[in-house]
Amino acid sequence: MNKTFRAVIGALLCAALIFCGFSSAFAAGEPIVITSPYDGVDWNTVGQYKTALHTHTNASDGHNTMREMLEREYETGFDIVASTDHGTVSYSWADENVNPLIYKGLRLLGRSEGELDYLGSSGMFSNGVGYTVFVDSSGDEVLTAEDGRTMLRVPFGIEQNALSANAHMCSWFADFYQDKLTTYEDAARGVSKAGGICVINHPGEYTKAKEEIETAFAYDETDPSYRYYINKYASLLDRYSCVIGIDMNSKGDSRTRFDRKLWDILLKRFSANGKNVFGIASSDAHNLGVVDSGCVYLIMPEKNNNEVRSALENGRFFAASTCIGNYDELLAISSALKELYGISDLTGKIDSVTERMAERIDLIKSDRSMADENLGIELSFLDGQGYCASDSRPSVTSIETTDGKITVNTEDALLIRWISDGKQIAYGGLDDGTETIDLSDFSDDIGDYVRAEIFGDGGVVYTEAFLINATSKDGNKPVTDGLYIDLGFLDCLLAIFNNWADILKRMIAL
């Protein structure tokens, strides 16, 4: 949006921002009590299970069969997989599992190709690995490969709102779908009644934040369109406990490259009430080439769906991605790595990407008739076949919180960045595998939460947020403002209008 127009809108909304008081600064000298989603974890006994929460097959608009997708997920080390085809509840990997309306409709539109291919009770992948599929005594469906490795299917996975243009949500543990035009509200209400949990998918696609070229303009709270969507997501998270968070890095991080900013805005609002909002990473894989681009690592004592649900609902997981598409984040990472370790092949790779991004940004700025559009360039650690190109990827082995301090222990990591209220407040090297932050040293910089991003030669890992003095919050601060009215289906027009109004302003200015 035009900077001058944004400034005018900002002045008009200033009073509302002050009145709502979403910021709650941490007072210097105040005793620090940290509420961590990892409290109570026995790091010596739990496992970390690589989990795909959002994947597609040719039963909807994926390019590969169920058999092909599961083979690639097995090859890339997934322990747990949720099949989430559009409008298609996942009942089984063994037997055909389609929604005829979605399957036939997408084939007519050319969005799905090839014959369906499910696993049956046993068989062999094309790589020569044999497997069996069975339902265990607890009702969990499990694929067991001949080498003894297993993959667990998350029950009732689905991408909701298949016929909607602006409201996709993944849900699990709820046998629920609707073959009609539906909204976020419809999906959240239905999943809640069916006893499931869900997450808001790739919001940048629907807010049109993916069309921005600068972080400063994405999710600008003085922009009426962005403010509307922030309020919308906050309202859903506030009213439906089944909505556990948002997808903030998926499928190459092109659409989601500004959604960490949205995550921080929501965290700022909710942490002021002592509440958390979880950030999810996924591949949203529609083909084999991106299967390994994003996942979560669920922290559980054993691998079963009761533990899967508990980990998701309580934030006992790390989100991880092999892709970063945000220009400002990459600049900060490169700068920190150079200060800590000097110039390297890795910083050269990052700098090469940011230079191409900068060229693209300058081109769009110089030709005001061009639409703000996806830069289409991201730092990726995937090779051409969709496997992680690095020999190692960063991981978190344990987290300890005590006396206002957070200690993170890692493997194969180089850098940790600490984020609060959307700003990097500190960073440190991880060449020895450990980093401790004393929050009392940053009392002027942090609000009611802090989160960490761990970067290494194989990608990035995001911790969930650590809340500060959560038990002292009264929980009564509003997470939306008085200007919010849910527009339902019409809000897709709001985002489109906002985007094209900006283009029109530029064309007039030529």
Using CA atoms, how far apart are residues 281 and 303, in angstroms rounded to an integer? 20
Using CA atoms, how far apart are residues 191 and 175, in angstroms rounded to an integer? 8
Phi/psi at 322 (5° precision): -95, 10
CB atoms within 10 A of CB 86: 24
Q: With 0-12 CB in 10 A as exposed, 13-18 as middle and 19+ as buried, what is 422? A: middle
CATH of the domain at 301: 3.20.20.140
Using CA atoms, how far apart are residues 88 and 377, in angstroms rounded to an integer? 32
Which residues, in sequence order, are bridge partners of residue 198?
Answer: 171, 243
Nearest one of 16, 33, 22, 21 to 267, comparing CA atoms: 22
Strands (E), 75-128: 80-83, 122-124
pLDDT band at 235, cuts 50/70/90? very high
Task: Read off the amino acid at residue 292.
Answer: D
- Judged against a pLDDT cut of 50, whether residue 310 lies above it is answered with yes
Domain count, the chain: 1
Q: Is residue 137 part of a domain?
A: yes
pLDDT per residue over 107-129, tens digit each? 888 888 889 999 999 999 999 99
| DSSP-derived secondary structure letter, 245 | E
pLDDT band at 84, cuts 50/70/90? very high
| pLDDT value for 379 | 93
pLDDT per residue over 12-67, tens digit each? 333 344 334 554 455 556 789 999 999 999 999 999 999 999 999 999 999 999 99
Q: Is residue 184 part of a domain?
A: yes
Percent of the chain with pLDDT over 70: 90
Three-class SS of residue 367? coil
Read out DSSP for 368-380?
TTSPP------EE
How many Cα atoms are found within 13 Å in the side-chain-facing hemisphere of 41?
A: 26
Which parts of 83-157 fold into alpha helices (H)? Answer: 100-108
pLDDT per residue over 186-198, tens digit each? 999 999 999 999 9
Q: Is residue 53 part of a domain?
A: yes
Three-class SS of residue 398? strand
Using CA atoms, how far apart are residues 474 and 317, in angstroms rounded to an integer? 27
Mean per-residue pLDDT of the chain: 90
Three-class SS of residue 391? coil
Using CA atoms, how far apart are residues 20 and 477, in angstroms rounded to an integer? 8
Residue keyed to tokens 């693209």: 360
Using CA atoms, how far apart are residues 86 and 99, in angstroms rounded to an integer? 9
- Judged against a pLDDT cut of 90, whether residue 504 lies above it is answered with no
Residue keyed to tokens 């993944």: 170
Using CA atoms, how far apart are residues 422 and 82, in angstroms rounded to an integer? 30
pLDDT per residue over 126-169, tens digit each? 999 999 999 999 999 999 999 999 999 999 999 999 988 789 99
| pLDDT value for 3 | 37
How many Cα atoms are found within 13 Å in the side-chain-facing hemisphere of 80?
A: 28
Q: Is residue 352 part of a domain?
A: no
Phi/psi at 243 (5° precision): -85, 105
Using CA atoms, how far apart are residues 223 and 245, in angstroms rounded to an integer? 23
Which residues, in sequence order, are bridge partners of residue 417?
Answer: 427, 453
Are the C-beta atoms of 112 and 263 separated by less than 8 Å? no
Pairing of strands 158-160, 150-153: unpaired
Q: Is residue 473 part of a domain?
A: no
Q: Is residue 275 part of a domain?
A: yes
Q: How many helices (H) and strands (E) does the chain have?
A: 11, 24
Using CA atoms, how far apart are residues 386 and 74, in angstroms rounded to an integer? 13
Q: Say how many residues make up the chain.
A: 510
- Judged against a pLDDT cut of 60, whether residue 240 lies above it is answered with yes
- H or E stretch at 456: strand 449-456
Are the C-beta atoms of 386 and 293 separated by less than 8 Å? yes
How many Cα atoms are found within 13 Å in the side-chain-facing hemisphere of 10?
A: 11
Give the residue numbers spanning the domain of 121. Answer: 48-319
Q: Is residue 149 part of a domain?
A: yes
Task: Read off the amino acid at residue 44.
Answer: N
Are the C-beta atoms of 439 and 32 separated by less than 8 Å? yes
Using CA atoms, how far apart are residues 333 and 327, in angstroms rounded to an integer? 10
Tell me how far the alpha carbon of residue 268 is from its chain's centroid. Answer: 17
Question: Which comes out higher in pLDDT, residue 21 or 300?
Answer: 300
Residue keyed to tokens 């929980």: 475
Q: Is residue 122 part of a domain?
A: yes
pLDDT per residue over 333-360, tens digit each? 999 999 999 999 999 999 999 999 998 8
Phi/psi at 346 (5° precision): -65, -45
